[in-house]
Amino acid sequence: MKILLIEDESKIAEFVVKGLVSAGYEVSLVEDGELGLVAIMTNEYDLVILDLMLPKLNGFDVLKRAKSEGNTTPIIILSAKVDLTDRLRGFEMGADDYLPKPFFVEELIARIKAVMNRKMPDTVKLIAVGHLSLDVVTHKAKWFDVTAVLSQREFNLLAFLMRSPGHIFSRQQILKNVWEINFDPETNVVDVYVRRIKQKLESSTVGIPSPIESVRGVGYRLRVQE
């Protein structure tokens, strides 16, 4: 498994690289945001570990640009910025996990495994419910005549809803199952990701409602198609 570490603090970078290599991972280290973004976009990694306070280009900008270009590589933020607002901002921008500094390398490894385990088994290549299908390998979703590539988190959210068509999930249930962490119930991160999926799948579908149905005051469900 190939991991990209974007970290400018040499002692932390050395600590992380040593721990991950000991755990059997192949690690590449980049020490500034600009080179980190280039590495994400031009190389194939299984996962990225991203610091936020980086020279040349901060971690939030790296994350934003990578996701805006359609990169679906899972990203774990590793940062001394521990405020809830920063953590929620990271998730809303597409991060798959957020581990505050200081940290234990054992916890980082556990988080890496959790993020990777959220991927569907290799034996399952396509999830389909009615006119909606989701390709596990390419992360392409097809809804009637619309095809769109989803980010890792968008893919996880849609796949979660597709496993139980018609079942209404609260925002807290979605956060717990898709993000695997409990959030302040006032956060709108679920709404942000649902809106992104809807925008991607509704771009050229005229007169057909989104496959994700909002249930006012309760949460979301995958629409049961007739």
For the stretch 186-222, pLDDT in tens is 678 899 999 999 988 886 656 788 899 999 888 999 9
pLDDT reported for residue 224: 74
pTM value > 0.85: no
| Same domain membership, residue 195 and residue 112 | no
Q: Are residues 108 and 159 in the same domain?
A: no
Do 9 and 104 fall within a single domain?
A: yes
Asked whether the predicted pLDDT for residue 181 surpasses 80, the reply is no
Residue 100, amino acid: P
Same-domain check for residues 99 and 169: no
Nearest to 152 by CA among 188, 114, 204, 187: 114
Average pLDDT over residues 18-29: 88
Of 93, 117, 141, the residue that ends a domain is 117
Residue where the block lists tokens 């629409």: 223
> Could you say which of 53, 88, 117 is where a domain stops?
117
Claim to verify: residue 157 and residue 184 sit in the same structural domain: yes
Q: Which two tokens stand for residue 32?
A: 């500034």
Residues 15 and 97 in one domain: yes
Greater pLDDT, 151 or 137: 151
Q: Are 220 and 194 in contact (CB under 8 A)?
A: yes
pLDDT at 111: 87
Same domain, 56 and 133: no
Residue 74's domain comprises 2-117
**Reported confidence tier of residue 226, pLDDT bands at 50, 70, 90:** low
Count: domains in the chain: 2
Q: What is the pLDDT of residue 58?
A: 92
Looking at the chain, the whole-number percentage of residues with pLDDT higher than 90 is 34
Residues 151 and 214 in one domain: yes
For 180, the enclosing helix (H) or strand (E) is none
Are 78 and 164 found together in one domain?
Answer: no
- CATH code for the domain of 88: 3.40.50.2300
For residue 184, pLDDT over 80 is answered with: no
pLDDT, tens digit, for every residue of 42-94? 888 889 999 999 999 998 999 999 988 888 889 999 988 878 888 888 888 88
Whether residue 136 contacts residue 158, with contact meaning beta carbons closer than 8 Å, is answered with no
Mean pLDDT rounded to a whole number for the chain = 86
Please give the average per-residue pLDDT across 119-124, as a whole number. Answer: 54
**CATH label of the domain that carries residue 158:** 1.10.10.10
**Adjacent-strand bridge partners of 222:** 212
131 in the same domain as 74: no
The beta strands (E) that lie in 9-104 are given as 26-30, 47-50, 75-79, 97-100
The predicted pLDDT at position 125 comes to 76
For residues 158 and 72, state if they share a domain: no
Task: Return the residue matching tokens 């290799």.
Answer: 122
Q: How confident is the model at residue 182 (pLDDT cuts 50, 70, 90)?
A: low
Q: How many residues belong to the chain?
A: 226
Last residue of a domain, one of 67, 92, 117: 117
Q: Identify the pLDDT of residue 124.
A: 58
Both 6 and 108 in one domain: the answer is: yes
Structure tokens at 143: 């809804």
